[in-house]
Structure 1
Amino acid sequence: MTSWLIKGANLLGRETVDVLIDDGTVREVGAIGARPGSRVVDADGQVLLPGLVDLHTHLREPGREDAETVASGSRAAALGGYTAVCAMANTDPVADTAGVVEQVYSLGQAAGYVDVQPIGAVTVGLAGQRLAELGAMASSAAKVRVFSDDGHCVSDARLMRRALEYVKAFDGVIAQHAQEPSLTAGAQLHEGAVAAKLGLTGWPAVAEEAIIARDALLAGHVGSRLHVCHVSTAGSVDILRWAKSSGWNVTAEVCPHHLLLTDALATTYDPVYKVNPPLRTQSDVDALRAGLAEGVIDIVATDHAPHTTEDKECEWAAAPPGMLGLETALGVVGETMVATGLIDWDGVAERMSRRPARIAGLDRHGHDPAPGVTANLTLVDPGAAWTVDPAALSGPSRNTPFRGITLSSKVTTTFFNGQPTVLEGALTEGSKR
């Protein structure tokens, strides 16, 4: 492996350091002189973070390789500063057996841009009828620790309790898509003034909040780990605050689009703004930002959901929900949370690297650069303003809701296992492991 010397980086936005990387590992941090044979990265003015970890990514393979593959999603992740992503189970076939999760894991290893950690389905076929092979997936080569029917809610309380009890045996976590189906049949947009004006069936906030409250109670009752996916309402923040104050092992995520965008964008009927859960109101956005800053919401996760142009560019009701997120997430968090003074760059590291790595059990990720740790690192230029252009994104899909928006920070370099997968903003094919 090539030895690398990062010069003049702003570590976590706090102090200027040099970092020597050798044989995939951080060897020294501090003031480091020239090292013969080491390649130098000039990081003057750039913030050095531990490599980002995404707990919620849709890579579509197997089954929908026209929208995304493990390889293309891995490249997008690296460009976004990620060194590990957790791949959701709603593939075709569903990742509900050891064989499918091992396939996804192997594809990630072959791509070599990031660690791809499969998430296993909670129920067979995401149908919500009977538990999937949780133990077999946990003991497989993929070592699955997070299970989710994302895209579908595990709405049966008895089945949810059984899942929470089952995963305790191997310190697993159930990641719930909080959506009471009986309250959201035919739902198209947040239930409120905009949906009423547009004539679209409303998706009420209580449909999310009721499931979070129920599952928090279940997790507390059985003493298990619950993670709540893509929190989107102010009421959900209040319920999470209550659950945490009760001492229950409940964590939650918010997506970048819910930190920036509102349902007012739907007045154009452009399906690029259709997502599940839907974009909410400005008061919800404000509560989500406050909850993330407070720590009631633990992490930022992208819910990166690529769709083909043919699937997404149609009438609103027929379009599938979902938005791209991997390449823009850090920029959106910088805009909504750092530039507003709600958190600093160390806070970004906590919410986009350390905590998600801990929740997912990814031991080689989420560590600040220090001698002896695996060199999974990200450099971001906090002053490199850029405008999101769908055509410039790396994957086959173009369904970004951030098109035309200018973000004030950008990833320049991503180190994965001690080698740059992204250097000065460009992928480095030769550095794949």
Structure 2
Amino acid sequence: MSKDLISRRRFCYSALAGLTTVSAGRLPLVGTQSLSARAGAPLHSIELAAFEHKRVLAAANRYLGERPITLTGSSSPRSAGGKHDYFSEGDYWWPDPKNPTGPYIQRDGLSNPDNFTAHRHALIRLGVQVPALTAAWVLTRDGRYAHHAAEHLRAWFIRPETMMNPNLQYAQAIHGRTTGRGTGIIDTIHLVEVVRSIPHLAESKALNHSEQESLKHWFSDYVEWLATSKNGQEERDAKNNHGTWWVAQVAEFASFVGDTRQMDFCRDRYKTVLIPHQVAADGTLPEELRRTKPYNYCLFNLAGLTTICQVLSTKEDNLFAFALPDGRGLAKAIAFMFPFLKSKTSWPYAHDVEYYQYWPIRQPTWLFAGVGLEQPEYVSFWKTLPDEPEVEEIVRNNPIRQPILWLDRKTSV
């Protein structure tokens, strides 16, 4: 074993040493696998509990007093669906100055402030609050947090009068052009960490067996829609971050419901489609670099890729380490982007047209990659990044926020 590898492992053992042990692994409930099976054989351990404690509880304590807000609390006359159907409008589509009453036209990277966004805001709110409350329960075992998180799940997915239908048929509609598009499926990335929370809430007894089965049924139906609908297949086949996050969503939802067929499909797609089509020989992400927000989109796509690896990696098949014969893989893409986190002023590409000044933030991307690739520098730098962003667009593009829900009591490195 090389001295370099030994030093990496020693670092990862001590990076967060002295922190309180906490139960944070995914539990073998409702069809899930244990995290130890998903993330690889443990070699050494780091512990996140004390590092995350103050941040998590500050957020969760704010959310204890907030009631669930679901789709049925707001509606748009432009939606072709019913009150239980999620509706949103394409971000970058605007009225045509030459034809004000006609179909909208695209202005890439510039969000139309007059779009209907209430359902998206409600969904993001769910994706922020439920994982934070669940993480607080994991850290404290205080039942208040778990029971409040469970109330949100009942409102969104179980109660007939307020539940959401398990599809995104009417997401990212465009006035005068379409009632919904596959690209709208990106909106439910905020359900990934909600689903990650459910086994913890089951362990807490905040969800009974019948409620767990209802949640499994809802997400089974959603996985089926994602895999078989026209919109779902269009999003699956997208060549950029949309295709990445389709895989991340289906992988996590399928893992929750025990759909090994879809998990295997996602694992294969990561190796045969996402990496070959998205990562260039030098580690760049060409599909993201050509956008008007290249810095943001590179970070966003890497977040999706590392989430896929965290969900689907096993002891026998570590997706973090997977590489094509020519060397292309996650490791090369991460290595490309990392210097521009440390020194953003050295970014040689176009600056994002919006929100450039707010990146980077403490995305679990770098923690997951540091552990999965045995790169202690990533873990160390992750700890220094700003957390809890308040700008709406940054929150929207950061759907994985609670690493304590993803990493076992002792993170394997």
Do both proteins adopt the same fold according to a TM-score greater than 0.5, normalized to the shorter chain?
Answer: no
Length-normalised TM-score, structure 1: 0.28
| Structure with higher helix content | 2
Higher relative contact order (CA 8 A, sep 6+): 2
Bigger strand share = 1
Normalised to the residue count of structure 2, the TM-score between the two structures is 0.29
